[in-house]
Amino acid sequence: MFVNDRLAPGVVELGLPPHDVYYTAYGNVPQIMVVLDVPDIAALPGILNSRRWQELKKELFQYIEDYEERVVKVDGDGGFF
């Protein structure tokens, strides 16, 4: 399966280890949301513009629709909502 075999190892390789994955069963919200940790915020623009990130997204797009990507700063309590 792409997520386990390629996507998860790929984002770890890029320095963005997965933090949480949320699945929504109903409602007008994203069905699946993945939260990645960013240990080095200064490196993030380079990661998001890297060939590897673009390759992973291109492969992911074969399986999904309505993709959104956001960078959100974590609050003092460790939450982002």
In the chain, how many domains are there? 1
Q: Residues 71-80: contacts with CB within 8 Å, 24+ apart?
A: 71/38, 71/44, 80/35
In a domain, 67, yes or no: no
In a domain, 39, yes or no: yes
In a domain, 79, yes or no: no
Domain that holds residue 47: 2-60
Reading the chain (81 residues) residue by residue, the pLDDT tens digits are: 888 899 999 999 999 998 888 888 888 877 888 888 888 889 999 999 999 999 999 999 999 888 888 888 776 665 555
Among 27, 9, 26, CA closest to 18:
9
Position 79 scores a pLDDT of 56
Tokens of 16: 């963005």
Position 76 scores a pLDDT of 64
Position 35 scores a pLDDT of 86
In a domain, 15, yes or no: yes
In a domain, 69, yes or no: no
Identify the helix (H) or strand (E) that includes residue 21: strand 18-23
